[in-house]
Amino acid sequence: MANYNIHDNPVRDEWTAKIGGLKTLASGHDFLKDFRKKHTTPLRATYDLELDWGWIECKIEEKVALLKHAELNDDQFKNYCTCGANAQEVADAVVAKMGACSDKYEAEKLHINFRIDCKPPIMPTNVFMDADRLLGTKLMELRNINYYDLSLEELRKERGVKVITIQ
């Protein structure tokens, strides 16, 4: 068996080089959001990075945080997202959308997409944490209505799950 170290591998080396190429906050912001959409959350486009996605996301977040610190003044750092949007306005809009939501699956997508789009360092932590708490509370309220009354088969059908069997 080859000497394979999960903490030092070609996949991480490739991504470390890509991350090192990020020179502006705008490029880091776009890169991080694109990575999260493709490689994280249950809505991810691919599972290619199953072993390394968490480490890679953390390294991208570190780089974006450094770029954010270098490019933003104190007021911007505390009150604006890395794309320049007012953080509180963004949070208020998604919380209002969640407040009007009555479907648990739509609520899940709202919450997941909020985390993809806004999880720090994209949005200041003080704003993100409060909005995330409000979104999670509403999601759990919607889920708790007869959620566990469904059989596993019914739940899979309702959620559109494709079961893969490994032989």
Q: Residue 138 falls within a domain, yes or no?
A: yes
Q: Residue 120 falls within a domain, yes or no?
A: yes
Q: Residue 78 falls within a domain, yes or no?
A: no
Q: Domain with 65 in it: what CATH number?
A: 1.20.1280.10
Given 71, 92, 107, the domain boundary residue is: 71
Give dist(CA 136, CA 99) in Å, integer: 11
- 49 with 126, same domain: the answer is no
- 100 with 142, same domain: the answer is yes
Task: Quote the pLDDT of residue 155.
Answer: 81
Angle, CA 36 vertex, CA 104 and CA 148 arms, to 5°: 25
Q: How many CB atoms lie within 10 A of CB 48?
A: 12
Q: Residue 166 falls within a domain, yes or no?
A: yes
pTM of the model: 0.84
Average pLDDT, the chain: 92
Domain span at 148: 83-167
Confidence of residue 2 (pLDDT cuts 50, 70, 90): low
Q: Residue 77 falls within a domain, yes or no?
A: no
Given 40, 71, 102, the domain boundary residue is: 71
Tally of domains in the chain: 2
- 112 with 166, same domain: the answer is yes
pLDDT digits (tens, 9 = 90+) for 38-97: 999 888 889 899 889 999 999 999 999 999 999 999 999 999 999 999 999 999 999 999
Q: Domain with 160 in it: what CATH number?
A: 1.20.1280.30
Q: Residue 27 falls within a domain, yes or no?
A: yes
Angle, CA 12 vertex, CA 11 and CA 18 arms, to 5°: 95
Cα 156 to chain centroid distance, Å, stands at 23
